[in-house]
Structure 1
Amino acid sequence: MLALTRLRAGGLVLLLGVGTIVGGSLLPAGPAAAAVAAIATPPMGWASWNSFAAKINFNVIRAQTDALVASGMKDAGYQYVNIDEGWWQGTRDAAGNITVDSADWPGGMAAIADYIHSKGLKAGIYTDAGRDGCGYYYPTGRPAAPGSGSEGHYDQDFLQFSRWGFDYVKVDWCGGSAEGLDSRGTYQAISDAIGRTTAQTGRPLVLSICNWGVSSPWNWAPGMSSLWRTSGDIIYFGEQPSMSRVLANFDAAQHPSAQSAGHYNDPDMLVAGMPGFTAAQNRTHLSLWAISGAPLLAGNRLDQMSADTRAVLTNREVIAVDQDPLGRQGVKVAEDRTGLQVYSKVLSGSGRRAVVLLNRTGAAAAVTARWSDLGLTGAAAVRNLWTATDLGSISGSYTATVPAGEAVLLTVAGTDGGGGTAGGRITGSQSGRCLDVAGAATANGTQAQLWDCTGATNQQWTPTASKQLTVYGTKCLDAYNRGTTNGTAVVIWDCNGQTNQQWNVNANGTITGVQSGLCLDANGAGTANGTKIILWSCNGQANQRWTVG
């Protein structure tokens, strides 16, 4: 069917603030503060598109709302009921206000928002950034309808959504794409309009930036929203879900430097529990979204789901990984053999990690998580979250045989600061001084320097199997802002798996950036305490030679 060619999006939210440094990049400031809804953890709920497409009305949404409560999903933390495309066919009254079919929506949209609220839940609605919405270009369940986008009516439509009582608005990109609109400028205008709405109604709206990863929203959306779609749809209506699409969307959402508490990469709605997906695939899917700290928006029919699907979607330990208040995105820390991958997510509390052992190959295989790759030392307590089994206190590493195409989800609790050469010094050959984090600071962006060797923790560097040089257990030596030019500052940053945090320790004593190819350099051939560490073209001089360990 035509809808199979369609790109859509199931993203979310808006949080405004001042310009913020994220992953070494300065993000633009949003409009003036407190204008829109902020979310502390990735949103959880249900969205209508995957199971119903445009074939929705009051009774459909009411039935799914009731099922969300009755299934125990509300008690497990799911709170949004999001009405996707199909609720509106582009009609407006003489004043330009949206009108809907009263046969489908008795009492209008305010009535369904009220019903959702009556169950202790939050209500979401949908529009498009362009003049014509996705239903005009790709009709799926209703006739093509022009005018079903909000372009030219941003202030009017968001004000109406707020007055109807909606808490969340998803803004798609079909019209924006067809018209060649600028993604960043358009969504900034939408963000600003929501801010003005909040000023009038006092009711913040969560904004879903839903432009499918066009123009790399992870580079600008954190300045105007709390989450943003990173890829095309995970499923097209009428298809059966596939693990290949799940993996593709998971991969496309790997932008850890953009993610923090309140700001989330969105790989799209869940397909767990939809026809054609097995119980093992459901668990693997949830494992990947949880390690990513992704939004959990179910898309299956809640009134028809099996007990196994319900158990997967409501597993409290898995949800806790996704909802961890640090808001980190897990990163790949090892791939000993192609397709056998280890992902680690730093959790709140000392020495806590969530770990996914993922087997992308066609045969069962052993996958090993090493504590040094997780930034841990000593023995660590390991727990399998899907079997709810404590595996004991284990030293060094843990290996599991993972079936083909599946994943194992663990929590690992040990001691921060691990590594095969934990606590090792990196000493400048020219200066005799140590690579040091200025002021023993732990803040992202703190520049490395030379200082008298003291043995303090801010001088203890751990090489990992992933070529990182870690300090304090969770911070990595980082080429600031992914810089590749002479003079780029060398700083510490949350470990995120990017190549600007990977280093080659060479036999000639140099340390070179994997991304830049440049050498770790004591600025100006300095030898004094406080000399800053930068990247510079390798030149064989003594200020670029180091002893590790």
Structure 2
Amino acid sequence: MARDAGAAAAPAAQPSVASIATPPMGWASWNTFAAKIDANVIKGQVDAMVSSGMKDAGYSYVNIDEGWWQGTRDSAGNITVDPGDWPGGMKAIADYIHSKGLKAGIYTDAGRNGCGYYYPTGRPAAPNSGSEGHYDQDFLQFSQWGFDYVKVDWCGGNAEGLDPAATYKSISDAIGRATAQTGRPMVLSVCDWGNGSPWNWAPGISNLWRTSQDIIYYGQSPSMSRVLANFDAAQHPSAQGPGHYNDPDMLIVGMPGFSGAQNRTHLALWAISGAPLLAGNNLATMSDDTKAVLTDREVVAIDQDPLGRQGTKVAEDHTGLQVYSKVLSGDGRRAVVLLNRTGSAADITARWSDLGLTGSAAVRDPWTATDLGSFATGYTANVPAGQAVLLTVTGVDGGGGQPQARQIVGGQSGRCVDVPNSATANGTQVQLWDCNGRSNQSWTYTAGKRLTVYGNKCLDANNQGTSAGTAVIIWDCNGQPNQEWNVNSDGTLTGVQSNLCLDANGQGTANGTKLVLWTCNGQPNQQWSLRAAS
């Protein structure tokens, strides 16, 4: 069975890309302007970033997205642009951005033709607007122009059937060679929409990697359902660490059609995730409320916490009523989101035991900078339908904080419980596979007796089955008893609902052996150990 290439854990920053301590913050042109950009548009947003207070709040990158280049090159193969759109060329606009104390970002495609060729949006289709065949030349040119950040899209790569991991490794290496010549490292944003499970290989070659499709398509109105879908798709906490981040896409905070409550819910989800904060609204015309959301210092601080952790779901007592927790720097500090995905208001409780805290804890509302008091065992808030409550909690770490990721290793096989090919689809049956440290083998045993993977999928007895032979699968965590497991002192893992053992089918030990429920019988194919994920 073919496996995804690459390592899962986020290593130290690689020399080929810039070293950044926290998720990048800034603004990108696509969501508001699509391909209809020129120097005047960008300068207007640069000026607004400074005058609005966003720069002072930490936003620093101004990213010029698709549309700046129409695929033209000179006789030497160097990129050329329309001087009417970009007087002085791209170096001039990078210089302008730098003159305001900000950093400059640019965009290209991994393939021969960029997204503007396949999906023209505001400009005619532009052939040859990708960098394939010119990686060294183009990334050196970007660096020489003065750009600090490059987003590399995947429209051409996808159309040509390129291999994402190998292609982006070549791009990262080209950036490294450019940096060696210019001394200007660039942040690399991998934008392959989650193709090829980039959370398994992109941490070693880039700073951020898209985990899903666009959060908004050209001409669409913003959608909270799309926000939630992108949030869910970015749940790969074992891949994330300082300098390397899951990217659920640019923000749509402040886009026409989103309410203030939706803006706050959206930013809270990105903050709890430790996601890049790249605003996409029109900074020159945004409302005071939108400005207040984007520049809230305490919320931004949650996102920018130096530990670089991604928050994970720690409880869902009732379907759609979820608690997410993010470990923050400092003793006993957590950020918490109470998320109501249902159609009616409901009480949601954050229990300190689920957050890895013991004793009483102090609760604060970062949106209003208000201390809400000290509470003995947890905090309950009434959360409106489709919204989230964001909190910070300070208590005492109990046993080292939140539950840690573990590998589940078979006593007979020595192989790990594995989600085949890093699949995320509900109903995927788990298997044995050589232990490799990737996120599809990293399981967290929660206080609610759930074994979670990717942060949002639970080990599940298929269709609530309680008979021997029931397939063991992954499914969205939903609080049902077929997703609860006892970790027993005799080395078995038993379903709380079925009281059956997790079993390597047919006493198999080979890669690909499927896991099922079976009557506990003391045989070695039902023996498991939980080891720290490597």
Does the Cα contact within 8 Å between 1:273 and 1:282 map onto a contact in 2? yes
- Gaps of at least 5 residues in structure 2 are 1-5, 409-415, 419-430, 460-483, 505-516, 530-534
In structure 2, the residue matched to 1:15 is none
Q: CA deviation at 1:473?
A: 2.6
Q: Deviations over 1:468-494 (max 9, x none)?
A: xxx42334362256555499799x989
Does the Cα contact within 8 Å between 2:486 and 2:494 map onto a contact in 1? no
Q: Does 1:473 align with 2:397?
A: no
Instruction: Normalising by structure 1, report the TM-score.
Output: 0.77
Q: CA deviation at 1:386?
A: 1.6
CA distance in 2, matches of 1:149, 1:486: 38
Does the Cα contact within 8 Å between 2:364 and 2:373 map onto a contact in 1? yes
Amino acid across the alignment from 2:345: A
CA change 1:194–1:278 in 2 (3 A) is same
Q: 1:35 aligns with which of 13, 16, 31?
A: 16
Aligned positions of 1:39-50 closer than 5 A: 39-50=20-31
Amino acid across the alignment from 1:540: G
CA distance in 2, matches of 1:519, 1:321: 41
CA change 1:404–1:105 in 2 (3 A) is same
In structure 1, the residue matched to 2:191 is 210
Amino acid across the alignment from 2:300: I
Aligned positions of 1:138-537 closer than 5 A: 138-417=119-398, 471-476=399-404, 478-479=406-407, 482-483=417-418, 485=432, 499=452, 504-505=485-486, 511-512=492-493, 518=502
Q: CA deviation at 1:506?
A: 6.8
Does the Cα contact within 8 Å between 1:293 and 1:322 map onto a contact in 2? yes
CA distance in 1, matches of 2:91, 2:221: 33
Amino acid across the alignment from 1:57: D
Does the Cα contact within 8 Å between 1:50 and 1:299 map onto a contact in 2? yes
Identity of paired residues, percent? 72
CA distance in 1, matches of 2:110, 2:11: 21
Amino acid across the alignment from 1:236: Y
CA distance in 1, matches of 2:396, 2:376: 11
CA distance in 2, matches of 1:293, 1:164: 30
Instruction: Normalising by structure 2, report the TM-score.
Output: 0.79
Q: Deviations over 1:278-323 (max 9, x none)?
A: 0000000000000000000000000000000000000000000000
Does the Cα contact within 8 Å between 1:282 and 1:312 map onto a contact in 2? yes
Does the Cα contact within 8 Å between 1:369 and 1:397 map onto a contact in 2? yes
Q: Deviations over 1:163-220 (max 9, x none)?
A: 0000011100000011111111110110110011011111101111000000110111
CA distance in 1, matches of 2:433, 2:202: 29
Aligned length: 453
Does the Cα contact within 8 Å between 1:510 and 1:519 map onto a contact in 2? no
Q: Deviations over 1:21-50 (max 9, x none)?
A: 62xxxx7999xx523201110000000000
CA distance in 2, matches of 1:124, 1:136: 21
Aligned positions of 1:12-91 closer than 5 A: 22=9, 33-91=14-72
Amino acid across the alignment from 2:522: G
Q: Deviations over 1:105-140 (max 9, x none)?
A: 000000000000000000000000000110011100
- Gaps of at least 5 residues in structure 1 are 1-18, 418-470, 521-535
Does the Cα contact within 8 Å between 1:385 and 1:410 map onto a contact in 2? yes
CA distance in 1, matches of 2:172, 2:374: 49
Q: Deviations over 1:251-292 (max 9, x none)?
A: 010111111111110000000001000000000000000000
Q: CA deviation at 1:541?
A: 6.9
Q: 2:522 aligns with which of 529, 540, 544?
A: 540
In structure 2, the residue matched to 1:459 is none
Question: Tell me, what secondary structure is at the counterpart of 1:372?
Answer: coil
Amino acid across the alignment from 1:247: L
Does the Cα contact within 8 Å between 1:359 and 1:365 map onto a contact in 2? yes
CA distance in 1, matches of 2:116, 2:528: 61
CA distance in 1, matches of 2:316, 2:245: 25
CA distance in 2, matches of 1:87, 1:545: 55
CA distance in 2, matches of 1:158, 1:179: 21
Amino acid across the alignment from 1:55: K
CA distance in 2, matches of 1:493, 1:172: 29
CA change 1:401–1:182 in 2 (3 A) is same
CA change 1:507–1:217 in 2 (3 A) is closer
Amino acid across the alignment from 1:499: T
Does the Cα contact within 8 Å between 1:475 and 1:493 map onto a contact in 2? no
In structure 1, the residue matched to 2:471 is none
Does the Cα contact within 8 Å between 1:226 and 1:263 map onto a contact in 2? yes
- What is the RMSD computed on CA atoms of the aligned residues? 3.0
Does the Cα contact within 8 Å between 1:128 and 1:172 map onto a contact in 2? yes
In structure 2, the residue matched to 1:11 is none
Q: CA deviation at 1:540?
A: 2.2
Q: Deviations over 1:300-359 (max 9, x none)?
A: 000000000000000000000000000000000001111100000000111110000000
Does the Cα contact within 8 Å between 2:109 and 2:115 map onto a contact in 1? yes
CA distance in 2, matches of 1:151, 1:477: 38
Does the Cα contact within 8 Å between 1:504 and 1:511 map onto a contact in 2? no
Question: Tell me, what secondary structure is at the counterpart of 2:371?
Answer: strand
CA change 1:364–1:95 in 2 (3 A) is same
CA change 1:359–1:21 in 2 (3 A) is closer
Amino acid across the alignment from 1:251: D
Q: 1:127 aligns with which of 108, 111, 130?
A: 108
